[in-house]
Every structure is written in C-alpha cells, then in structure tokens.
Amino acid sequence: MLPTVYILDDDATTAKLLSAVLDTSKRVQSEVFTAADAFFERCAEAPPAVVITDLVMPDTSGIDVTRRLREMDPFLPIFVLTAHGEMQSAIDALKAGATEYLTKPASQDELMTLLGRALEERPLREEAASIQQERRKEFSLGAILGSHPKVEEVREFVRRVAAIPRPTVLLLGESGTGKNLVARAIHYSSTHSAGRFVEINCSALPAHLLEAEVFGYQKGAFTDARETKRGLIELADGGTLFLDEIADLPFELQSKFLNFLESRRFRRVGGTDEIAVSLRLITATNRDLDREVRDGTFRADLYYRVSVASHVLPPLRDIKEDVSQLADNFREVFSREFRKHVTSIAPEALALMQDWHWPGNIRELRNVIERALIFTDGDTLMATDLPELGGVGAADPAQPAGASFPIPTNLSLADSEREYIRHTLELFDGNVQRSAESLGISRKNLWEKRKKHGLP
C-alpha cells in the first residue's frame, strides 16, 4: 500500500492540482483538506505518512498546524508551502518543527525528491530516538547503584552538575570506580542529552594523532590528510565531550586545549578558520593532578579550568556494604545475556566478595561475575565459581598469593621500582590492566616504565 500524503490548503484548486501531481507519480497517494477541523479529525482516525500544509489560511496557519502535528507525532514529515518566500516565515516554520519549507509553485522533481528522502529517513529517526531513550534509561541516575552515603553523594553531584549546562566536570578516583558511567549519567540527565556523547582516551594515542582526532584536520594538512576530517570536538557539538585519562594529555597539546576551553573556538590542524561549538566537557583521571601540576607535567591553568566541578568516586573497598547489590545486579545482567538461569549467589560466595580487597574496584567485580557466569552450570553462583577470590585453595582471600614484596636495602630507587613492577606483573600473571590498577598507574604509564626498565 502506498504511503498517504495529506494536503491542507484553503485554496481547493491549488490543493487538487498538487494532489494530482503526487498521485501521478505512483509513489504516494494523497487526500485533500480545505479546513483544519476536518484535517485533524482525519489525522486522528488514520495518521498520514506525510503532511503538506499551506502557510497562510483563514482559520489557522501552517506554523500552528505544524506545532500541533509535532505534538501528535515527533517524527511526522511536515512540508510547509507558501506563496511568499519570506525568510522570517521559513525560520518560524522550521522552529515549529517543519521538515521542509517550500515556495509555491514547488518543483515537482524537488518535491518528490524531498518526500522520498523524508519517508526513507523516518524509520531511521525513530530507531535513533528509541536508542537514545534506551541509553537515557541505561545511564540514568538509577544506573549508579548502591545505598552507601558515598554513592548517594555521587548521585547528588550528578544531579547538580547536570542541571547546569556549561561547567566543566572533573571525575577523580581509582581505575574501575565507574567514572565512565558517571560521565554518561551526567550527559543523559542534562539538556545536552539530545546531542552526542563523544569519548576519547588521552592515553590511547600519540600526541600528533590525538590532536588530529580531537581537533580534526584540513585536506593537505599532512602527508596522509587526503580529505578534510571533522574532529571529535565538532562531532560533540551540542552534546558532551568526555576526555578520559586527562592526565595523559600530551604537554604540547595542553595549551591548545586550554585556549579552546577559554573561547569554545578552535581551528582544525592545518586550518585557518575558527569553528565555534557549544558542548559540555567532562574529564577524568585516576592520577593525582595536584602532584602532576607540582611535577610540571600538567599545566596549572588547565587544571583550574577543567576542575570547575570535581568529585572523587569512592573505591569499592570503602563501600563494601554495596558489594552484594552490585554483584547481584551483574549476576542478573550476565544471566540474561548468556541465557542462563542463575537466580542467586550463595552466602559463601558473597562472603568471599565481602572479604576481597578489590584492587580493580567495580570493573573487577563485574569481570569476576561475568567469568563465573560463563563457567557455572548451576542456578546458584557458588564460592567454587570464584577461584580468583580464594574459592579454591587460597590461604587468604583478602590478598592474592605472593602479595608480599621484600625490598632489599642495597637496591637503588630505580632498581627497586623495576623489581616491584616485575613482581606485580608476575603476581597478576602478566595481566597488564590488573597490574596497572594495582600499581595505581595507567596502562600507558606501565608500558613506558616496562620499556624504561627493559622488562618483557
């Protein structure tokens, strides 16, 4: 069945001519209305696929019709036609929610092209809106689980900063404490939620690539710049830019980023034109930025600029009362994902979790539950499903075996660091992520130290 186009115009002759043009195309079918009341009654009975409305009518206006239709259906393609191509009328119609604004007589080819595009894009817009709604639910305040007072402080922080559109936010805390989740909660609880949430890890790329990714570049700016590319700042316009591991932002980029924060304007690499954007900036790090400033590796003026609103997320060992709730939530998530019927966690397993020191924090807890759900066959998660927490033969569940490290007195500071890093890597069976978390440094920092000390 062909999609139906409703035409609303008090000039019956004009409306019927337009209807004949549409029907002749064999791509849509149309119905004509000369009065708003009859038009809206029909919309309630059988919603149209597209609406074409005149701008000026005796009993209403195309702008009022557009507003009313947009309340009924946020995704309905609405075309406003007028005999007078006034710029202000076009602006008013588009602000009211019109899809297109056309001057009479509209070109048949142009109209059919725009109609076809609108019909094709509608399901995509609906899908995008559905995904956006799911993300708002997934990353709402309710996604920050826990009843500990320190967790409630985090939720209150999110409420306050989300209500104010512009302040930059700095999230501090150990790796795995949920900084990414809190950043998304701020975004999806704020007026920026209609825009994109764009994330980049400052420790993941070398300086020249990071600059190109964040600021974009002009065609010919460097050897491989075969075309102009928009940077992540442009993509985040109207939304949120999240810079994770801000402490690893290369020093040579810090001044450029500071200038952007001051003016909200920037130039692409190799470009001369200034581009203005409106976005919220959230940064995060597990490092001590005060110490980084004292050591001269992080600019003090940039630190003051990014830390307008800051909060330290608590490590899991400080909110152990919430371990049970978090573990049960992850059990439910992975039970559903893996299509298993694991309905509970045994008290002995919960006791192991309560006793564990959780160097990797909530991320480690999530990984432990995920692994256990993969390998368990019963409907209850048992202590034996948690060997990494001492469920099988560990003498002390509060510490991994071999956690002690005697420091010989005859070693230099550099040699002591090398041996301690070697010991930590061996302790975690070469797992770089867990080793870095235990040492309190980033993966990149650990990689640099391994290279410096010649560790494999």
Cα–Cα distance for residue pair 216/231, rounded to 1 Å: 4
Place of tokens 């400052």: 202
Give the tens place of pLDDT for each residue, 29-64: 999 999 999 999 999 999 999 999 999 898 899 999
CATH number at residue 155: 3.40.50.300
Return the CATH number at 350: 1.10.8.60
- Rounded Cα distance between 204 and 432, Å, is 14
pLDDT of residue 394: 38
Of 133, 154, 135, nearest to 145 by C-alpha is: 154
Residue 239 CA, chain-centre distance (Å), reads 9
Of 24-33, 251-260, 316-325, 431-440, least confident by mean pLDDT is 431-440
Cα-based distances in Å from 199 to 203, 234, 368: 12, 12, 26
The Cα–Cα gap between 115 and 26 comes to 13
DSSP per residue, 28-61: -EEEEESSHHHHHHHHHHS--SEEEEESB-SS-B
Question: What's the token pair of residue 71?
Answer: 């309340």
Spatial contact of 216 and 230, defined as CB atoms under 8 Å apart: yes
Structural domain range at position 188: 139-314
Closest CA to 350 of 395, 393, 386: 386
Can you give the pLDDT at residue 401? 43
Distance CA 383, CA 355 (A): 12
* Residue 165, preceding peptide bond in cis (omega within 30° of 0): no
Q: Give the pairing of strands 280-285 and 240-244.
A: parallel
Q: In terms of domains, do 152 and 272 share one?
A: yes
Residues 324 and 252 occupy one common structural domain: no
Residues 307 and 339 placed together within one structural domain of the fold: no
pLDDT at 275 over 50: yes
Q: Using alpha carbons, select from 360, 193, 214 the residue that is nearest to residue 283.
A: 214
Q: What is the pLDDT of residues 78-90, one digit of tens each?
A: 999 887 767 777 7
pLDDT bin (cut points 50, 70, 90) of residue 407 is: low
Q: Of the candidates 262, 290, 314, which is a domain's last residue?
A: 314
Any idea what DSSP says for residue 189? Answer: T
Give the pLDDT confidence score for residue 440 in this predicted structure. 73
In tens, the pLDDT along 207-260 reads 888 988 999 888 877 777 788 888 899 999 989 999 999 999 999 899 999 999
DSSP H or E segment with residue 380 = strand 380-381
What is the pLDDT at residue 205?
Answer: 85
| Residues 439 and 353 reside in one and the same domain | no
pLDDT per residue as tens digits for the range 173-208:
999 999 999 999 999 888 888 788 999 999 888 888
Instruction: Determine, yes or no, domain membership for 403.
Output: no
pLDDT score of 447: 82
Judge contact between 233 and 279, C-beta under 8 A: yes
Coil, helix or strand at residue 245: coil
Q: Of the candidates 69, 48, 54, which has an alpha carbon nearest to the alpha carbon of residue 119?
A: 48
Q: Quote the pLDDT of residue 397.
A: 38
- In Å, how far from its chain's centre is CA 315? 23
- Statement to judge: residues 308 and 183 lie in one domain: yes
The domain that holds 69 is classified in CATH as 3.40.50.2300
Same domain, 92 and 186: no
Would you call 302 exposed, middle or buried from its count of C-beta atoms within 10 A (0-12, 13-18, 19+)?
A: buried
Q: Which of 220-229, 351-360, 409-418 has the lowest mean pLDDT?
A: 409-418
Does residue 105 have a cis bond before it (omega within 30 degrees)? Answer: yes
- What amino acid occupies position 70? R
Q: Count Cβ atoms within 10 A of the Cβ of residue 419 and give its class: 0-12 exposed, 13-18 middle, 19 or more buried.
A: middle
Q: In 3-state terms, what secondary structure has residue 317?
A: helix
Determine whether 197 is exposed, middle or buried from the number of CB atoms within 10 Å of its CB (0-12, 13-18, 19+): buried
pTM: 0.64
The pLDDT of residue 402: 45
Which two tokens mark 419?
């041996």
183 and 103 belong to one structural domain: no
Q: What is the mean pLDDT of the chain?
A: 86
Question: Does the residue 88 lie in any domain?
Answer: yes
> Which band of pLDDT confidence, cut at 50, 70 and 90, is reported for residue 403?
low
Question: Measured between alpha carbons, how far is 378 from 294 in angstroms, rounded to an integer?
Answer: 54
d(CA 303, CA 95) in angstroms, rounded, equals 39
Is 401 inside a domain boundary? no
Residue 201: partners with Cβ closer than 8 Å, 6 or more residues away:
244, 245
CB 275 within 8 A of CB 266: yes
Q: Are residues 76 and 14 in the same domain?
A: yes
Number of domains in the chain: 4
Residues 267, 381, single domain; the answer is no
- Per the CB < 8 A criterion, the answer to whether 381 and 340 are in contact is no
Burial of 162 (0-12, 13-18, 19+ CB in 10 A): buried
Q: pLDDT tens digits, residue range 101-135?
A: 888 877 888 888 888 888 888 888 777 666 666 76
pLDDT given at position 69: 93
